[in-house]
Structure 1
Amino acid sequence: MTTDNDASTGSRRRPWHELPRSVRRGIEDVLGATVAAATSQKGGFSDGLAARLRLADGRRAFAKAVDADAAPAIAAFHRREGAVNGALPPGVPVPRLLGSYDDQGWVALVFEDVDGALPVQPWREDELARVLDAMTGLARRLTPAPRLDSGDVSPRLGGWARLADSPRSLAKLGVIAPDAARALDRHLALEALLPEATAGETLTHGDLYPFNVLLTGERVVVVDWPHAWTGPAYADLVMLLGSVALSGLDPEPYAARHPLLSGVEREAVDVLISAQAGFLLAAACSMDSADAGTDPRLEAMMTGLGRASVRWLSSRWNGVGRGRVGLG
């Protein structure tokens, strides 16, 4: 489903031939054909299989699978992703779920194969314009949010309070993101407004970074939906613009002219930018680089994106001064 053009993505993929025979058979049963070839994909960060499959009858598909005992959190994400994809209305630009396999030990999802590529990073202007344009239609199709049998989840936002309560994490923050550490009180004040800032009626992707976007000749396809939550229509846009800051571009002109942010209070956007940085940096600061279980690429991605969001927010503060914090 993805192509490997981003060296900053994860490094914990498992090839097709390493899956238990029962899991491979289960995936083939979903497809109704045997797998002739499997090409592992490196886009993204989750453990387990992520492979494009070529079937003996010539068809193609994409499969992801994980050992639930070895990676229970990823297995839970896979199960919820299946539930979310099944609830998305027609016309939403996502890969069609063909079926799933779940023996309680392994969880696998099988999707239609999308012949697309990840956006080039740093962002290219033409590709960024395509994705930003597509986000307006995506938000409209998902408002009001479809009902999910799996229920809603908390957004992957916020983390400043956890950082403040952990001397070890706070010390690491001072090393990897000193600007954020110096502005901790301001971020904590914004985080207190997060419940109000995340209210809304749109199903948002919740992890909308370039490694979850595929560009085909005609479409912008959004993949990997386990973190979907219901909130404001512009939440995914703010998240994506954090990756624009990471590319060395100023996100502010894109934010200023995007229709999803028309009429949105400036402080509400500040809360989401800060909360995004807080989630990423809190996660990075909780990781131990000396631990063999830590994925260094994931830690580097979270640190880079978190620092980029902090820089974007700092530039907004410097542009308008440090007035009151509030949404009213």
Structure 2
Amino acid sequence: MTTDNDPSTGSRRKPWRELPRSVRTGIEDVLGGRVTAATSQRGGFSDGLAARLGLADGRRAFAKAVDATTAPAVAAFHRREAAVNDGLPHGVPVPRLLGAYDDQEWVALVFEDVDGALPVQPWREGELERVLDALTGLAERLTPAPRLNSADTSPRLGGWGRLADSPGSRVKLGEIAPGAARELERHLALEARLPEVIVGDTLTHGDLYPFNVLLTDERVVVVDWPHAWTGPAYADLVMLLGSVALGGADPEPYAARHPLLTGVDPEAVDVLISAQAGFLLAAACSMDSADPGTDPRLEHMMTALGLASLRWLSLRGYNSGRKQR
């Protein structure tokens, strides 16, 4: 399965054959076998390799690899993902890390292969309900948050302050999200509450969008954990529901009946939704579309998800003084 013309997949993927021989050998050493087939996989926006591998002895695996000299941030994400996966408790529905290769110039992670598929987008009702149900169990297994062999990372939330401080970003915000530009002060007020809202003792995925979920016949598997952080049990749920709005549906009925949001202050949810949109739009507005180093698909997806979160926030009527659920 290739990534050609797939808007949910980054445009800077590298095929197996283009990896340095030393990196391919390092991955084969982790696997203890020779790779005879490699197929790039859909989903996600990291630079470098993201491929399902077939071995000469019939085994399969999944590998991701990146050049740390040209994409140091992605390399840091890969290294942290290895640390997070090592610390996840048994039974959490994530791919098992088989090993890593790191020569300081290239970083590669090798996982067990998951025979699953990405959820269809826009969401199908049955698949969405499966994932929403799975999030309850995931939060239970990850509360209290396990100790990781890596420092906790800051959540990928918030960005309205950065937008306000950057004249260039404010101009771009006015072009891609004029409503948000007009309501910037309101979002800044919500962002001021973010530190109190993100307090919690659950390890959250931190980047839970449909392209980081695999559905098998039996399981919902959550992949790509470099952005995990400790916070409220409902944080991943709120993030995922933003993608429901991306498909044109109203996420609110799902939020209203989900057990992870029972008793939660609706204004706290508003803060998270706004902060999610702020992070995405600030990142998109900081990208230079004319720069050949910019991934246009990533910029487009961040913009679309940010606008979707804003639509959900608008549907909630976030300044109407709702009572707790």
In 2, the alpha carbon distance for the partners of 1:23 and 1:295 equals 24
In 2, the alpha carbon distance for the partners of 1:149 and 1:116 equals 28
Amino acid aligned to 1:194? L
Amino acid aligned to 2:198? T
- Whether contact under 8 Å (1:173, 1:285) holds in the other structure is yes
| Mapping for residues 1-328 of structure 1, pairs under 5 Å | 6-317=6-317, 321=320, 323=321
- Whether contact under 8 Å (2:60, 2:113) holds in the other structure is yes
Segments of structure 2 that go 5 or more residues without pairing to the other structure are none
In 1, the alpha carbon distance for the partners of 2:72 and 2:194 equals 28
In 2, the alpha carbon distance for the partners of 1:52 and 1:233 equals 32
Segments of structure 1 that go 5 or more residues without pairing to the other structure are none
Amino acid aligned to 1:252? E
Amino acid aligned to 1:109? L
Aligned-pair distance for 1:31? Answer: 0.4
Aligned-pair distance for 1:6? Answer: 4.7
Aligned-pair distance for 1:317? Answer: 1.8
Secondary structure in structure 1 of the residue aligned to 2:46:
coil
Secondary structure in structure 1 of the residue aligned to 2:50:
strand
- Whether contact under 8 Å (2:86, 2:149) holds in the other structure is no
Secondary structure in structure 1 of the residue aligned to 2:64:
strand
Secondary structure in structure 2 of the residue aligned to 1:157:
coil
Secondary structure in structure 2 of the residue aligned to 1:147:
coil
In 1, the alpha carbon distance for the partners of 2:152 and 2:8 equals 30
Aligned-pair distance for 1:63? Answer: 0.4
In 2, the alpha carbon distance for the partners of 1:165 and 1:213 equals 35
In 2, the alpha carbon distance for the partners of 1:8 and 1:131 equals 18
- Residues 24-57 of structure 1 deviation map (CA, whole Å, 9 limit, x = unaligned): 1110000000001111123110000111000011
- Residues 136-186 of structure 1 deviation map (CA, whole Å, 9 limit, x = unaligned): 000000000001111100000000000001111001111101111111111
Amino acid aligned to 1:33? G
TM-score (norm 1): 0.96
Aligned residue-pair number: 323
Aligned-pair distance for 1:3? Answer: 7.7
- Whether contact under 8 Å (1:11, 1:42) holds in the other structure is no
- Whether contact under 8 Å (1:3, 1:118) holds in the other structure is no
In 2, the alpha carbon distance for the partners of 1:294 and 1:308 equals 22
C-alpha spacing 1:254/1:244, structure 2 compared with 1 (3 Å)? same
In 2, the alpha carbon distance for the partners of 1:279 and 1:65 equals 26
In 1, the alpha carbon distance for the partners of 2:7 and 2:226 equals 23
- Whether contact under 8 Å (1:3, 1:117) holds in the other structure is no
- Whether contact under 8 Å (2:8, 2:211) holds in the other structure is no
- Residues 93-144 of structure 1 deviation map (CA, whole Å, 9 limit, x = unaligned): 0000000000111000000000100000111111101000000000000000
- Residues 195-250 of structure 1 deviation map (CA, whole Å, 9 limit, x = unaligned): 10000000000000000000001100000000000000000000000000101110
CA RMSD of aligned residues (A): 1.6
